């Protein structure tokens, strides 16, 4: 019996022929696949140049006169830490992001927005949605219907929040929306429960990397807007958030948005949030007297009465 792997004579010829045929058919398959892909791309609107990004609609409030009667700005000290070395994101006061309407622009509607400009890797549908939302003045903004702004938008929205740290959790409490809470479970392994129910705030697990709290969030419902401007999300959204208190008054925030259902590659937005010493959260129930959303008609003509 011939040794395994050694084939002689006509058998070898036949085998070589087979291999060649296999190679050929392989090449044919690849070629066909390429052709079909190329033709399908050719049918995609991507062949048409992308429409330009919708422009900043400009200031929506008149410029404020310089503030009078405000005390001197508090002086920043070193970032506080717990005795065990963990960074302390709390204290007597609250974080207040201010209005930062666009995650990807440094100014939006006439005021400072995100820390850096990002060329957002839109998929065609998210570019179209974004442009529509900018142009129709965000008339369908879920926040206007008192729904949660979700993550990461709360870090860009003008509502105070606090971070409360226990041994196994970081709890965020928000004055905005409907006086919501958000729990980040600390787990260095970063494991999410299976079969997450789609949610506005997602499922968050975190750990400390030196002075930075790193939070991994998934399990989103795809309904939240990333910002007031209208960057959309899908239910494939996966966020990596990094919170670093660089001094007693400053919280640096970086968020990587990895959403293959909405963007062609991950992108990172950032913001700097100031500490307001002595600020406490008031109860704020958005839908208690909500009368605004019916007036949000975008660019439509107001109804004559």
Partner 1 sequence: MKYCYFLAALAVVHAQGQIPRLADGNPDLGADGVWLPLHVADLAPKADVPFQAWAKLKFQENSAMKRNETDLRCLPPGVPRITLMPRPFEIVQTSNRILFLYEGGGHVFRQVWMDGRAHPKDPNPDWLGHSIGHWEGEVLVVDSVGFNDMTWLDDAGHPHTERLHVSERYARTGPLTMKYDVVIDDPGAYSRPWMSSSSLSFRRGEKLAEDICLDRISK
Kindly list the residues in this chain that would bind partner 1 in the complex (CB under 8 A): 90, 145-148, 164, 166, 168-169, 171, 173, 178-181, 183, 185, 197, 199-201, 281-283, 285, 287-288
Q: How far is the CB of 291 from partner 1 (least distance, A)?
A: 13
Q: Which long-range contacts (CB under 8 A, 24 or more apart) does 66-69 make?
A: none
Residue among 53 and 199 whose Cβ is closer to partner 1: 199
Pairing of strands 107-108, 111-112: antiparallel
Cα distances (Å, whole numbers) of residue 289 to 13, 73, 145, 258, 284? 85, 34, 11, 36, 11
Q: How far is the CB of 215 from partner 1 (least distance, A)?
A: 16
Q: How far is the CB of 169 from partner 1 (least distance, A)?
A: 7
Residue among 105 and 148 whose Cβ is closer to partner 1: 148
Q: How far is the CB of 236 from partner 1 (least distance, A)?
A: 18
- Report how far residue 138's alpha carbon sits from residue 144's, in angstroms, rounded to the nearest whole number: 9
Both tokens assigned to 179 = 């006086």
Both tokens assigned to 60 = 């929506």
- Report how far residue 302's alpha carbon sits from residue 212's, in angstroms, rounded to the nearest whole number: 49
Residue among 15 and 169 whose Cβ is closer to partner 1: 169
DSSP 130: H
- Report how far residue 258's alpha carbon sits from residue 218's, in angstroms, rounded to the nearest whole number: 10
Q: How far is the CB of 162 from partner 1 (least distance, A)?
A: 9
**What are residue 171's DSSP bridge partners?**
164, 183
Residue among 193 and 260 whose Cβ is closer to partner 1: 193
Q: How far is the CB of 129 from partner 1 (least distance, A)?
A: 18
- Report how far residue 99's alpha carbon sits from residue 276's, in angstroms, rounded to the nearest whole number: 15
Q: How far is the CB of 214 from partner 1 (least distance, A)?
A: 20
Q: How far is CA 73 from the centre of its chain?
A: 31
Residue 118: CB atoms within 10 Å: 17
Residue among 34 and 181 whose Cβ is closer to partner 1: 181
Q: How far is the CB of 154 from partner 1 (least distance, A)?
A: 13
Among candidate residues 302, 283, 155, the one with its CA nearest the CA of residue 228: 155
Residue among 119 and 283 whose Cβ is closer to partner 1: 283
Evaluate whether 239 touches 257 at the Cβ level (below 8 Å). yes
Residue among 109 and 245 whose Cβ is closer to partner 1: 245
Q: How far is CA 223 from the centre of its chain?
A: 12
Residue among 60 and 181 whose Cβ is closer to partner 1: 181
- Report how far residue 170's alpha carbon sits from residue 137's, in angstroms, rounded to the nearest whole number: 35
């Amino acid at each position: 019996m011939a040794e395994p792997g050694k084939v002689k004579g006509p058998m070898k010829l036949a085998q070589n022929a087979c291999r060649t045929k296999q190679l050929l058919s392989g090449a044919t398959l690849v070629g066909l696949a390429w052709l079909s892909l190329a033709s399908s791309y050719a049918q995609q609107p991507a062949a048409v140049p992308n429409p330009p990004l919708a422009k900043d609609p400009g200031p929506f409030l008149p410029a404020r006169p310089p503030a009078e009667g405000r005390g001197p700005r508090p002086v920043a000290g070193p970032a506080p830490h717990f005795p065990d070395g963990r960074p302390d994101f709390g204290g007597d006061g609250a974080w207040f992001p201010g209005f930062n309407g666009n995650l990807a622009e440094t100014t939006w509607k006439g005021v400072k927005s995100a820390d850096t400009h990002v060329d957002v890797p839109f998929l065609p549908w998210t570019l179209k949605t974004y442009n529509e939302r900018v142009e129709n003045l965000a008339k369908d903004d879920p926040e206007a219907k008192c729904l949660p702004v979700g993550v990461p938008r709360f870090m860009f929205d003008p509502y105070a929040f606090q971070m409360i740290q226990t041994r196994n959790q970081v709890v965020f409490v928000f004055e905005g929306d409907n006086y919501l809470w958000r729990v980040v479970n600390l787990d260095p392994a970063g494991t999410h429960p299976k079969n997450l129910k789609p949610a506005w705030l997602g499922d968050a697990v975190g750990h400390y990397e030196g002075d930075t709290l790193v939070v991994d969030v998934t399990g989103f419902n795809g309904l939240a807007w990333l910002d007031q401007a209208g960057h959309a999300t899908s239910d494939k959204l996966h966020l990596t958030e990094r919170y670093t208190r660089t001094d007693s008054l400053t919280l640096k925030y970086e968020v990587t948005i990895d959403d293959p259902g909405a963007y062609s590659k991950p992108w990172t937005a950032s913001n700097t949030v100031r500490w307001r010493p002595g600020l406490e959260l008031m109860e704020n129930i958005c839908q208690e007297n909500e009368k605004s959303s019916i007036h949000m008609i975008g660019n439509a003509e107001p109804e004559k009465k």
